[in-house]
Structure 1
Amino acid sequence: MDSKFFGRQVKHFRIRRGLTVRDFASLMDKSVRWVEDLEAGNRQADPNLSVARLAALRLGITLERLIAEPVDVECAGESEIVAVRAALQRHDVITGACDDSNADPVPVATLRRGLDYSRTAFQAGHFQQLGSDIPTLLVDATRAAHRHAGDDQLTAYGVLSLTLELAEAAAIKWGDTQLAVLAGHRAVAAAERSGNPVIMASAARHLGDAMTMHGEAAAAAEFVLAAATRLQPGLLRSGPEGYSVLGMLFLKAAMASAAAAEAEDRHPERHARRVPDFLSEADEHAARLGGDANYLYTAFGPTNVAAYRVAAHVHLSEGADAVAVAHGIPAPAFQSLPRERRAHLLADRARGETQAGLREDAVTTLLEAEELAPEEVRCRPRTRTLVEDLRLLGVPPSTQGRLRLLADRCGLPG
């Protein structure tokens, strides 16, 4: 174990825990000079394992985490966005008429495996790689929908719609809401070709999300509610997948209404008063589902409803309520959510803490989110904006070092 690397790791986690050099020296029962030398990598060529174990214990982390090589996070850049946009602008992808190649279409089972792989990456908080995954999936799924027949063709249209949803979700993470709306519209059209109400509802909830993020929140609420009304009978007959996507439609309606209230200057209450009703509808479908699950990549269940309730409170500038709801989620339920959803929830809680004047807590919460899914914090524009806001608002001196390092990792100017 390299002493320079070990020293940097100790300093990194000491600062993240809000400990001064003197504090850490006391915990280690050593002198301040000893800690300074340790962090500078000057104590010994190969740190003793007993020292590493004690340092990990005092820092409240595992030994493996203290000595592990740090993971560099590469954010999606313009090249990834350009690649997805270029795929959406291809003639064959737009028209559904594939090229004249004699190559056989990709089997639908293979398409599903590819989609599952990319969706798993998304739910793990890995967004950058989607810039290369999505274009290939779009072309393969379009060709399959054109070349297959019968049930395989319907399934291929379903996979195409879900791939377009993934493009929408990735574009949201990358901050390109126009691209998200484009992909969302295409997903709805492909879903209609699938003939599957579950796929249709899933596409509708994603388009609603894109419209909300693109500043069309009021229209988004009406769109997802119309979809829920139209598709509800078929969804209730579809079992757990149907319950999940139906519940998600009401969650998106709640978020769209909260966002519309946030944007409305004259009569925000007309949107805000709808939010609790939509959340209650979602609660009913979560109860029907019987617990937390991840059917069709929804992560839907009582815990996700609570996560959306946190986000709705934040949109309505009810920070203290958001924090209370977030803290009320049991730890096992929180751990049941996919990594991306957990980090997203923590980022929303940090916004609520900021609104409530709990800025030191907000920094700690953002660091917890970063540990779960670094790209959700360091790369997502809305979260980086929160980091910048906290710098401008100011935090207690004991937190400034941790916030400064976080801002550096987010690539924010000093």
Structure 2
Amino acid sequence: MDTQGIGRRIAYWRERRRMTQQDFGALMGKSRRWVQDLEGGQRQSDPRLSLLEDAAHVLSVRLEVLLSDVSLTRRTECVDSTELERIRVVLQRHDVITGTCDDSTQGPLPIEILRRNVAYGWTAFQASSFSALGRVVPGLLIDANRAACRHEGDSRLAAYELLSMSLQLVEAVAIKFGDFDLAFTAADRSVMAAERSQDPVVMAAAARHLADAMTQHGQARAAMDFATAAAARLEPDLIARGADGLSVLGMLYLKAAMAAATLDAHTAVPDLLHQADEHAVELGVDGNSLWTAYGPTNVAVHRVAAYVRLSEGADAVAAAERIPDSARSALPRERRAHHLVDLARGLTQAGRREDAVSTLLRAEEESAEEVHCRPRTRQLVEDLRLLGTGSAEGRLRALAERCGLPW
């Protein structure tokens, strides 16, 4: 047995769970020195299986994760259920639910520091560095709530803006990893915080995330109505705000279009996409205001996604072929990979399953996390296995193994 490899994996997961060696040792009924020896591969030449089972239990991982000789590099890619639960626990705190002050003697973070922390989280998301968010987000929520409670005047309004953006980040992460209840809770809270910020741009940003969460939560009709109502209410203020306002206004119409596609509302989808396209043309460039990646290219990739939801795979493929490679490559990594997965699903619907495998492999090159970790992408890999992929079967089998899927 590779005791040094097991020791490294235990150390990795202990640190990821934010445990000290002392804490881990106490939960194992051992000393800190014992933990040091175990992690260094010096405790014993052949650790007992029962000991490793206890360690896996304490670390909230499967036993095979500690036994596997797969590089830890891939293990860092996924936010797991334990980290999502830690975020949920923070959302269930009394102070975070009520927006009141906690009992900490620590003062609120200065607004500029909090703003940098929020920007770090969103930058990590767009770079597909998802595992970092599992560790960062709980503390970010507590800091943002404390700032909103304890700052005064304009600083308090700014703190509510940053609290809303933090909750929107939770929604985005939860959607990515298939926890739609958590996504809905976070998005609903983000709307309330945005309203208290009194900033129409933040209100629209929160509304588009709630519309997304509602759609994924099985409330697509309500999502479409909510997004279009928010757009109508806020449009004059948003247009006056320039690039920031146009970007979130356009995203509201894109989320409404995706909700309509979920409903199979074939006549509504083109109209909503057209409205989003008009705002993108008015904006004139592919930007990234409030981490929207909004512009003509993002409208184009949403058009592909909408066709896929309507099960019109051939139309999705045709729409994707009209997107210039240079424009697609300028999108954030998360958006590029997400689009390629949508395209792979469209190719599958069109019966081009070998091309679908090739496109999934391109998505994996862009962001292994989007393919290895995301439930909807893993399901596509499984669907392709069941459908058969001809000469691409060997490549699909290898991909399934990297995803940890049975063959």
Match of 1:402 among 395, 400, 403: 395
Map 1:278-317 onto structure 2 (within 5 A).
Answer: 278-317=272-311
Give the Cα separation in 1 of the matches to 2:75 and 2:127.
13
Q: CA deviation at 1:336?
A: 1.1
Q: CA RMSD in A?
A: 1.1
* TM-score (normalised: structure 1): 0.80
Equivalent residue letter for 2:315: D
Q: CA deviation at 1:413?
A: 1.4
Give the Cα separation in 2 of the matches to 1:400 and 1:99.
55
Match of 1:374 among 368, 376, 399: 368
Match of 2:86 in 1: 83
Q: CA deviation at 1:327?
A: 1.5
Map 1:109-124 onto structure 2 (within 5 A).
Answer: 109-124=112-127
1:214-271 residue CA offsets vs partner (Å, 9 max, x unmatched): 111111000111100111111011110000000000000000000011xxxxxxxxx2
Q: CA deviation at 1:207?
A: 0.4
Q: CA deviation at 1:77?
A: 1.4
The question of whether the paired residues in 2 share the 8 Å contact of 1:306 and 1:329 is answered with yes
Match of 1:202 in 2: 205
The question of whether the paired residues in 2 share the 8 Å contact of 1:73 and 1:374 is answered with no
User: For structure 1, which runs of at least 5 residues remain unmatched after alignment?
Assistant: 1-68, 262-270
The question of whether the paired residues in 2 share the 8 Å contact of 1:127 and 1:173 is answered with no
Map 1:23-102 onto structure 2 (within 5 A).
Answer: 71-74=73-76, 75-102=78-105
User: For residues 176 and 387 of structure 1, do their structure 2 counterparts lie closer, same or farther at Cα, with a shift above 3 Å needed?
Assistant: same
Matched position secondary structure for 2:263: helix
Sequence identity (%): 61
Match of 1:273 in 2: 267
Match of 2:168 in 1: 165
Matched position secondary structure for 1:97: coil
Matched position secondary structure for 1:181: helix
1:288-342 residue CA offsets vs partner (Å, 9 max, x unmatched): 1111000000000000000000000001111011011112111110011000000
The question of whether the paired residues in 2 share the 8 Å contact of 1:248 and 1:300 is answered with yes
Map 1:126-137 onto structure 2 (within 5 A).
Answer: 126-137=129-140
Match of 1:38 in 2: none
1:112-151 residue CA offsets vs partner (Å, 9 max, x unmatched): 1111111111001122221111111100000000110111
Match of 2:177 in 1: 174
Q: CA deviation at 1:71?
A: 4.3
Residue 393 (structure 1) aligned with residue 395 (structure 2): no
Match of 1:11 in 2: none
Q: CA deviation at 1:72?
A: 2.0
Q: CA deviation at 1:73?
A: 4.1
The question of whether the paired residues in 2 share the 8 Å contact of 1:258 and 1:312 is answered with yes
Matched position secondary structure for 1:128: helix
Match of 2:245 in 1: 242
Alignment size in residue pairs: 336
Match of 1:256 in 2: 259
Match of 2:350 among 336, 350, 356: 356
Match of 1:327 among 321, 327, 346: 321
Residue 105 (structure 1) aligned with residue 98 (structure 2): no
Greater relative contact order structure (CA < 8 Å, 6+ sep): 1
Residue 228 (structure 1) aligned with residue 231 (structure 2): yes
Give the Cα separation in 2 of the matches to 1:390 and 1:189.
42
Give the Cα separation in 2 of the matches to 1:101 and 1:219.
39
1:38-80 residue CA offsets vs partner (Å, 9 max, x unmatched): xxxxxxxxxxxxxxxxxxxxxxxxxxxxxxx994243221111
1:262-288 residue CA offsets vs partner (Å, 9 max, x unmatched): xxxxxxxxx221000000000110011
The question of whether the paired residues in 2 share the 8 Å contact of 1:138 and 1:164 is answered with yes
Q: CA deviation at 1:347?
A: 0.3
Equivalent residue letter for 2:74: D
Give the Cα separation in 1 of the matches to 2:269 and 2:145.
37
1:156-215 residue CA offsets vs partner (Å, 9 max, x unmatched): 000000000000000001100011000000000000000000000000000000111111
1:63-115 residue CA offsets vs partner (Å, 9 max, x unmatched): xxxxxx99424322111111110010011111111223332210110011111
Equivalent residue letter for 2:98: T
Give the Cα separation in 1 of the matches to 2:104 and 2:372.
42
The question of whether the paired residues in 2 share the 8 Å contact of 1:313 and 1:319 is answered with yes
Give the Cα separation in 2 of the matches to 1:249 and 1:99.
34
User: For structure 2, which runs of at least 5 residues remain unmatched after alignment?
Assistant: 1-70
Moved over 4 A (4+): none
Matched position secondary structure for 2:247: helix
Match of 2:60 in 1: none
* TM-score (normalised: structure 2): 0.81
* Higher alpha-carbon deviation: 201-210 or 127-136: 127-136
